[in-house]
Amino acid sequence: MRISNISPFMWSKTAQTSLTYGLLPTTKNNNTLLTGLNADTISFSKKSDSLTEREVYAQHMLSEFNKLIETDKAQENPLVQKVNPSFITKFNNHIINNPNKPFLIAIAGESASGKTTICDTIKQSLDALNVPIEIMSADNYFKDISELIKKHGSFDKLLASGYDVDSPNNFNMEQLYTDLSELSEGKDVRIPQYLINGTGVVVPNAIPKKSQNVIIVEGMATMYGKVSDLFDLKLFIDIKPEIQEKWYIDRAKTSRNQNEENARKQLAYVREVSKKYILPKKNNSDIILNGGCSLDYLDEVIRNIYNITTSNKTSA
C-alpha cells in the first residue's frame, strides 16, 4: 500500500512568497529548455489572487524547475539534454488534479547506456529521503517462447532461424498495461518473471510489486503503444558511442564471461536493434538524460527536485 502522507505535491507558503517576487515565467518567449512553460501552456486563465493554493504551488514548482535546468546547462557535464515542452502541461496537471496518485516513470535507452545504474541511483536517493519507490523491469513481460526454443533445439538456434527476439511484438503488452494501470490506481500486483537462463520460460504472478509513491519501469516496452501513455514521466537515457562501447565490453567480460571478440559482435547486433526499435522513439520521451553524467551529481539533482516538490511543513 502507498504511504499517502509523503506526497511530492504539497502546498507550501514559500510558493506564495515566490509568486509575490515575480518568479513565474508567463511569456511565450521564455528562453530555456522548458520552452513550453508559459501561462497559455499550463492553462491558467485566472488571476494570481484567485488561484487555488495547489495551482499557485504548481506554478512555483515549474519556475523552480526552470532554474534547476538553467543551472544544469552551466555544468561541465550536464544531466539534461532535452525537455519536451508537452511534459510541462502533463506534469502540471498531475500536480493539480492527481496529487496523491502514484507517479509512474519510464526509463528507456540503448543497451549499456546506464539505465539500470540510473534506476539504482534514483532508488538510493529516494530511499534516503524516505520516499516510497518501486522499480520493475519491463523485460519480465517478454512472451513465453519455451516451446519455440524446444522446437528449434536451443535459444541460439531459434535466433539463427531469424526469430526477432527484440521485436516489441514479443512483449505481453496487454498484461503490462493492466499491471501498470492497477499500480497507478494504488493496487499492489504480482508481475510475471522472464527467466534469463535460455529456456524462454515465463513464470506468471511471480514477483510482488507494491503501488508506491514513485514507480519506475525500465525497458524498451515502456516506449510502445498505450503502455507509453500511462507514464507521468518518460526518460530516455542517451549515451556517447565510445562510452557505451567501453561499458558494454567491460560488462560482457566481467559479468557475462564473454571474450572481447564476442562482446564486440554482440554490441554490433544490439546497436542494430537500437536503430530499429529504440532510437526512433527517443524524441517521444519527456526528458533526454545524459547517461554519462556523474552519479553524485544525479543524486544532487534528485535531492533538489525533492526539495522543490515537497512542502516545508514548519512554514505551512
Would 2 be classed as within a structural domain? no
Cβ neighbours for 269, distance < 8 A, ≥ 6 positions apart: none
Would 83 be classed as within a structural domain? yes
Q: Grid coordinates representing 6?
A: 509523503
* Maximum mean pLDDT: which of 28-42, 246-260, 293-307: 293-307
Would 8 be classed as within a structural domain? no
Q: What is the pTM of this model?
A: 0.82
Give the pLDDT band of residue 51 (cuts 50, 70, 90): low
Q: Determine contact, residues 95/54, Cβ cutoff 8 Å.
A: yes
Would 80 be classed as within a structural domain? yes
The label of the residue with cell 520552452 reads: 35
Q: Grid coordinates representing 51?
A: 488561484
Would 260 be classed as within a structural domain? yes
Domain that holds residue 274: 13-309
Span 268-293, mean pLDDT? 95
| Tally of CB atoms within 10 A around 23 | 16
Would 243 be classed as within a structural domain? yes
Q: Grid coordinates representing 55?
A: 495551482
> C-alpha distances in angstroms, 66 versus 54, 60, 111, 240?
19, 10, 30, 26
Q: How many domains does the chain have?
A: 1
With a cut of 50, say whether residue 4 has pLDDT above it.
no
pLDDT tens by residue, 56-105: 777 787 788 889 989 999 999 999 999 998 887 777 778 777 878 999 99
What mean pLDDT value characterizes the chain? Answer: 83
Tell me, what DSSP letter sits at residue 171? B
With a cut of 60, say whether residue 14 has pLDDT above it.
no
With a cut of 80, say whether residue 37 has pLDDT above it.
no
Q: Grid coordinates representing 23?
A: 518568479
With a cut of 80, say whether residue 251 has pLDDT above it.
yes
Select from 288, 302, 295, 298 the least CA-distant residue to 110: 288
Give the Cα separation of 21 and 11 in Å (integer): 17
Q: Determine contact, residues 277/168, Cβ cutoff 8 Å.
A: yes
The label of the residue with cell 488571476 reads: 47
With a cut of 70, say whether residue 201 has pLDDT above it.
yes
Q: Is the C-alpha dihedral spanning 4, 180, 306, 300 positive or negative?
A: positive
| Lowest-confidence pick of 137-141, 226-230, 248-252, 307-311 | 307-311
Would 158 be classed as within a structural domain? yes
Span 282-294, mean pLDDT? 96
Identify the CATH number of the domain in which residue 291 sits: 3.40.50.300
| Lowest-confidence pick of 7-11, 201-205, 263-267, 303-307 | 7-11
Cβ neighbours for 242, distance < 8 A, ≥ 6 positions apart: none
Would 268 be classed as within a structural domain? yes
